[in-house]
Amino acid sequence: VSTQSTGVHIVGQTIKCALLVHNASDLTDRLAWATGQISGHVTVDERYVQIAREQQEEVVTNSSSALTKHVANDCFFSSDPEILFCDIQLPPQCSKELKFSGIVPTHSPPSYRGSYIKYSYIVLVGLQRVNKPVTLINLPIRIINLPGISLVDGPKKPLTHPFAPREECINYEDYFMDKVQSVVL
């Protein structure tokens, strides 16, 4: 599993992921299903920070996905799960690439690792082979949330015809890095 950029994303940005499934055996492999989603987690050091039980329950996501249940005690955000495939057969020595995307809401906190509290985000992919247990893959990603930088205020794409040269295409990563540097410097 890999994200199709640097692994650092801005809230509101579409996070694109690719999953490569390869059958290294000499037999056809039957895959039951695969699904992917993005989730955010908060970890609190309970030695220093006390959270009332009723507040803790509000933090838990409402997602009914089986993928987030194993981490639901600290999950504050969970995208809807996206089904990547159902019931496919993968011939010997063959691969299949699957893609999915998700968006972290603009009101989400940035990734943060402090002494008493930690906010983290993961791309979570679940895959099950027929008659085998579910395999879960966690890919950590970083989310930044900078005041004054918004995807809504992004560069305006010029009106062009469908055969426009590539130079006219807007590179959003360059645009946002220029914005970040203007805020930081």
How confident is the model over 106-142, as pLDDT tens digits?
A: 888 899 998 888 999 999 999 999 999 999 999 899 9
What does pTM read for this prediction?
Answer: 0.68
**DSSP structure string for 5-29:** SSSEEETTPEEEEEEEEE--SSSPE
Q: 8: pLDDT confidence band, cut at 50, 70 and 90?
A: confident
Q: 67: pLDDT confidence band, cut at 50, 70 and 90?
A: very low
> Residue 64 has which token pair?
């009914």
pLDDT at 32 over 90: yes
pLDDT at 69 over 90: no
Instruction: Label residue 9 left, alpha or beta by phi (over 0 means left) and psi (-120 to 50 means alpha).
Output: beta
DSSP secondary structure code for residue 74 in this structure: G
